[in-house]
Structure 1
């Protein structure tokens, strides 16, 4: 088999695999639209409400009016409900660039609707505040099935941070977009497990 044929097969496989995943939090072409809720009222009810985090707009500037923003408070959360269960491969989170230091120490958890406390769900990712400020765009590998994801930012007793300007007592939500790349669940009979 020639090198050209092998390259064509590899590229076809890569494109086919990549095309299997869509943003299950916002893909109007396929009728997919997640819903977001926050633990605190938005900073501006007309411009920074929860669903701004799943509107398909990745503008990370406050002036772009595309971010879910709460007033600073103690423990805060933003939940993205996908509407049904999906195999989630990864997420891309776009934080507001002007306030990235206020998101230091955040975590993403899977949300279990049977658990009434959104702050006490299985951990998916945690940013170590001692590693400095979070990146303005964060890629998070998931590779698990799920229906809801919750962003949590809290300041437990003894919280410390190496992120300049981070408030060690209060925090808020400053998320411009949560892209959740996944596909519909597919079950295989082998071991009754679910695979991506």
Structure 2
């Protein structure tokens, strides 16, 4: 009798970990972390800011094998900027749109994973910054753990290099964020 109970507990506890992933990947996520911004002006001046960022993400794609996913990814970040000589604080929006890839180390649910994405980046800064949108390229790398078929958590490092169309200033952003993703 004890063997049957232990066997039943073993099967029940491992049931979710042995589940297969859905062929279609739809995910939404939220994250927070610091962003470093470097502004390169035409005159050669460099301005550096570090600020907190909140990020929301969306993924739509599919699994082309039990361990490999390809998807479209869109990320939207809200940036806050602080400086002692400003009467009020500046803020901005950053967006990333591109193609992403995730590799899961195990073919069943409940696996560590690594991810990467490449695409285009847009940044719009408000308050104390010139009018215009900076546009350029972006990339991200990340790693984390998939807890079950609907929840995974990880860390992402996002890089971008963009140029303002109005004044030709260069803007480089690097964001490190912890993110929580919900898969449907």
- Fold match, TM over 0.5? no
TM-score (structure 2 length as normaliser)? 0.25
More strand by share: 2
TM-score (structure 1 length as normaliser)? 0.24
* Higher relative contact order, structure no. (Cα contacts within 8 Å, ≥ 6 residues apart): 1
More helix by share: 1
Greater Rg, structure 1 or structure 2?
2
